[in-house]
Amino acid sequence: MANRTMRDSLKSKQSTNPDSARSLAVRALAFIAADSDRLNRFLNLTGLGPHNLRTAAADPAFLSSVLDYLVADEALLVAFAADAGLKPEAVARAHEALGRSIEGET
């Protein structure tokens, strides 16, 4: 039980770090891209295509928008969190951290 509590504590601390948040956003993008229905919906909403998705993924602001998209859809958020072995709250904290990081750069 103590190991699990420590592991959960470490995961929540990692999710608040902007670099960890960017990494999580990349994982979220990979999760979205792994399913054609999820990917098509995402591409339709963003206006991106498969040809420029990789380029967009290099932009921290785009990665923030990936997490925006994810947290706006509760079912998708829960599915991604389960797939990543995280609590949805950890994804939400990463979203907040990445948003703060982007705001600090502008």
pLDDT tens, 24-43?
999 999 999 999 999 999 99
How many whole angstroms separate alpha carbon 70 and alpha carbon 17? 18
Q: Give the number of other CB atoms < 10 A from CB of residue 23.
A: 15
Domain boundaries, given as residue ranges, for the chain: 2-105
Residue 14 confidence (pLDDT) above 70:
no
pLDDT digits (tens, 9 = 90+) for 65-97: 999 999 999 999 999 999 999 999 999 999 999
- The pTM of the full predicted model, rounded to 2 decimals, is 0.80
When computed from its CA atoms, the radius of gyration of the chain, rounded to whole angstroms, is 14
Mean pLDDT computed over every residue of the chain: 86
